[in-house]
Amino acid sequence: MQLSENAQTVLERRYLAKENNEIVETPEDMLRRVAKNIAQLEEDPIWEERFFEVMDNLEFLPNSPTLMNAGRHLQQLSACFVLPIEDSMEGIFDTLKNTALIQKSGGGTGFSFSRLRPNADVVSTTGGVASGPVSFMKAYNATTDAIKQGGTRRGANMGILRVDHPDILHFIQCKADTNEITNFNISVGLTEKFMQAAFAGENYDLINPRSQEVVGQLNAQEVFELIVEMAWKNGEPGIIFLDRINRANPTPHVGEIEATNPCGEQPLLPNESCNLGSINLAKMARLEGDKWTVNWDRLQEVVEIGVRFLDNVIEVNDYPISAIRDMTYANRKIGLGVMGFADLLMRLGVPYNSDEGVELGREIMRFIQTKGHDASSQLAEERGSFPNWEGSIFEKSGRPMRNATVTTIAPTGTISIIAGCSSGIEPVFALAFTRNVLDNDQLIEVNAQFEAILKEEGLYSPELIKMVAQAGNVQDIAAIPAELRRVFVTAYETSPEWHIRMQAAFQEFTDNAVSKTVNFPKEATKEDIRHVYELAYELGCKGVTVYRAGSREGEVLTVGHKKPESEEAAASETARPTPRRRPRVTTGQTVRVKTGCGTLYVTINADEQGICEVFTTIGKAGGCAGSFSEATARIISLALRSGVEAKQVVKQLKGIRCPHPIWQDGKQILSCPDAIAHVLEEYLQSNGMAEAAATRETVARVNSNPFTGSTCPECSGTMVEESGCATCLECGFSRCS
């Protein structure tokens, strides 16, 4: 495997097997483990080698749980699950228990809360009233908070509510506070009836799911405007088109699709799972003479291998719940998708935001869909069709099929880092960006295709790359010819209309759905959001997610794009530094101080640039004094890593008084903040640090960073919003998986 430094880091953090916290396998060992495990059903040993080869060449990679767990004790290989929530206390908490089991094993879960009776509805068994879907979402959210998925993946959920549920207004606004329901993506399930009423400005019915009675009406246009407003404010809710999804349901005789997985690309029946894998299109280019073209022959080979691989996963998978195993076996859904599409376009010299780019996307996905269905049909001849084939859409055509669905366009945040390619079908987020490394040096990460093309054209230089990293794009860099600037477009240079047109082109030939984020600049209006939602409906998308730069404060970092002159002026007057990365290794000391609230332990850590963090401990965990001292320490650490001088922190804290001052070593300790100030002051005096110089260096560095916002909570790296989820470009951390 030809791995970048980031890819190696991601593998070591999340994928490679460990014993006693020590890595005990190489990346090649991991692929051998996976290939052997998935090929155990095969009589011909050649399949193990073929599975290994496509992964080792980085031409195909399965979803993360398969890479992590295949051939190990967990053996839970699926990423996507949808669970039913019945309208009873027993049903709600049975599903909650199953959710915990799935997330413990590394899966993400989707739910429709639409069956639950609305808030204040009658509960006949107790004589009380119901609390409604949103209250139970909060209970599910708290459970996810308490679970760390297998030590490698965070819990993630999708919550969906039908637009005709009486609690829909509460649901649409339930994430107005971004600190609430943090482990859920939410989407409103829109119906054809609602969309027609919205376009006509008419009212539509609200239906109580308990009684199926009409209990009120809302103006569809006003509800649609509220969805738009909330999406403009913080990117949620997304929308899915339920009727359109169910028209494509391959097994309507089995049940109705109510929900999707956390990133929205996999609609599933209740108690159904799906395993995913992605073809790296960046590897599907070949040079014919002096022209780059798509290697259709190799693409077909990888499609056929990928379909067989994913079908095998169904058999060797260890399902956390028997009902999910039974439903998965009955329909055998797989989701073969792509990554590296933007890289392929660059290599072929085709702009993402062009008719040529959209048509190429449509042609590639038509090819993958056709060859994928052929491969599934051939497997059916060899192994038999999926059990629910009778009554399915395939029975009507008389075509045997091993899998009820074959294709899905999934987000590929982490596996695309491993493969060294762009994510899913997203445009490139950044051609180059700067990150800080352990020795306080700066390392510029460059898109591999972009770098290779510059070198081939004789344009590459370290100075040019630095200019691109600082600018965030190439559009104003005269050293790059205009024809190349047209090809080297990034996500925020791609208008929302092109995002949607590309999504629709891939959706046309995708069995399941397409995970994609439509990126908007900060100055985008609500009308811009509404237009994209309407366009997604008109062009045949099954759902859409939007993100306006800077709208989710403290969560996502974005590449700098042009701002209105008023904003530019304000930014020049007042710098807004972001925290530098927390170093991996620090040195420090812990001081014990008596306070009126008890004994306080203050730890001060530093690196070559000065103090970078403060920790405090007082009393028992969960106590009020402990909470306040921890909060104070966190804010101090954030300030220090953002360039604030430690002596200024001392100045602000020193002298704060609480009702119980105390004397220690001849000094009066007025409060816990005052105690922290004394310890900091003594540390500065004894260590003689050049805090001012370190501060100036830090401020200069963070202000030159073209990304603005917060940092990855795990590695302090760069977070971007792609495929419906915030993902770290450096360590692969994802808000959704």
Q: Count CB-CB contacts under 10 A for residue 101.
A: 15
SS3 300: helix
What percent of the chain has pLDDT above 90? 64
> For 403-417, b where at least 16 C-beta lie within 10 A, e where not — what string?
bbbbbbbbbbbbbbb
- For the cut 50, the answer to whether the pLDDT of residue 564 exceeds it is no
Structure tokens at 257: 């699709």
Alpha helices in 660-726, H assignment, sequence order: 672-687, 691-704
34-43 pLDDT, tens digit each: 999 999 999 9
DSSP one-letter code for 241: E
Q: Tens of pLDDT along 6-25?
A: 899 899 988 999 999 899 99
What residues does 669 pair with on adjacent strands? 662
Q: Which tokens is 503 given? A: 């999504």
Kindly report which listed range (109-113, 235-239, 549-553) carries the lowest average pLDDT score: 549-553
**Residues 81 and 259: beta-carbon distance below 8 Å:** no
Please name the residue that has the structure tokens 């495990």: 37
Greater pLDDT, 662 or 496: 496
Q: Tell me the average pLDDT of the chain.
A: 88
Question: Is 185 in the active site?
Answer: no
Report the candidate in 503, 501, 496 with the shortest Cα–Cα distance to residue 520.
Answer: 496
What single-letter amino acid sits at 615?
F
Longest dimension (CA), the chain: 91
pLDDT at 627: 80
The ranges assigned to domains in the chain are 5-76+267-418, 81-103+110-247, 587-692
Given 157, 249, 258, 263, which residue is catalytic? 263
Phi and psi dihedrals of 241, rounded to 5? Answer: -100, 100
Per-residue pLDDT at 250: 98
The answer to whether residue 261 is catalytic is yes
> For strand 517-520 and strand 543-548, is the pairing parallel, antiparallel, or unpaired?
parallel
CA dihedral 143, 147, 150, 155 (to 10 degrees): 60
CATH number corresponding to 5-76+267-418? 3.20.70.20
| 647 or 137, greater pLDDT | 137
pLDDT at 639: 87
For residue 293, the model assigns a pLDDT of 98
Cβ contacts of residue 236 below 8 Å, gap of 6+? 175, 185, 186, 230
Angle (CA) 176 181 186, round 5°: 75
DSSP 13: I
Alpha-carbon distance 67 to 52, whole Å?
12
What is the three-class DSSP state of 728? strand
d(CA 192, CA 205): 13
Residue 202 has pLDDT above 90, yes or no: yes
Residue 209, C-beta contacts closer than 8 angstroms, at least 6 positions apart: 87, 114, 115, 116, 117, 118, 165
Who contacts 534 (Cβ-Cβ below 8 Å, separation ≥6)? Answer: none
Taking the C-alpha atoms of residue 410 and residue 335, their distance in angstroms, rounded to an integer, is 8
CB-CB contact of 658 with 677 (8 Å): no
The sign of the dihedral angle between the CA atoms of 290, 293, 297, 299 is positive
Answer whether 65's CB lies under 8 Å from 78's CB: yes
Amino acid at 71: G
**Which residue has better confidence, 258 or 716?**
258
- Determine the average pLDDT of the residues in 408-419: 93
Distance CA 647, CA 667 (A): 19
The better pLDDT of the pair 539, 470 is held by: 539
At residue 156 the predicted structure's pLDDT band, cuts being 50, 70 and 90, is confident
DSSP state of 555: T
Q: What gap in Å lies between CA 466 and CA 422, rounded to an integer? A: 20
* 436 vs 99: which has the higher pLDDT: 99
Q: What is the CA radius of gyration of the chain?
A: 27
Q: Exposed (0-12), middle (13-18) or buried (19+): which is 352, by Cβ within 10 Å?
A: buried
Active site residue 183: no
| CA 60 distance to own-chain centroid | 20
646 has a pLDDT exceeding 80: yes
pLDDT digits (tens, 9 = 90+) for 284-297: 999 999 999 999 99
Strands 157-162 and 184-190: parallel
Burial of 463 (C-beta count, 10 Å sphere; 0-12/13-18/19+)? exposed
Using the predicted structure, report yes or no on whether residue 582 has a pLDDT greater than 90. Answer: no
pLDDT confidence of residue 551? 82
Estimate to the nearest angstrom the gap between the alpha carbon of 343 and the chain centroid: 20
pLDDT at 186 over 60: yes
Least confident of 205-214, 435-444, 613-622: 435-444
Q: Which of 59, 236, 258, 265 is catalytic?
A: 265
Around Cβ 499, how many Cβ atoms within 10 Å? Answer: 26
- 6, 157, 261, 473: the catalytic one is 261
Beta carbons within 10 angstroms of residue 612's beta carbon: 22
Cis check: omega of the bond before 387, within 30 degrees of 0: no
Q: What is the DSSP letter of 480?
A: S
pLDDT, tens digit, for every residue of 378-409?
Answer: 999 999 999 999 999 999 899 999 999 999 99
Sign of the Cα pseudo-torsion (22, 318, 100, 737, in order): positive
Listing DSSP states for 379-436 in one string gives HHHHH---GGGTTSHHHHHT---S-S--B-B---HHHHHHHTS--TTPPBS-SEEEEE
Global pTM value:
0.80
Question: pLDDT (tens digit, 9 = 90+) per residue, 653-694?
Answer: 988 888 778 877 767 888 889 899 989 888 888 775 444 444
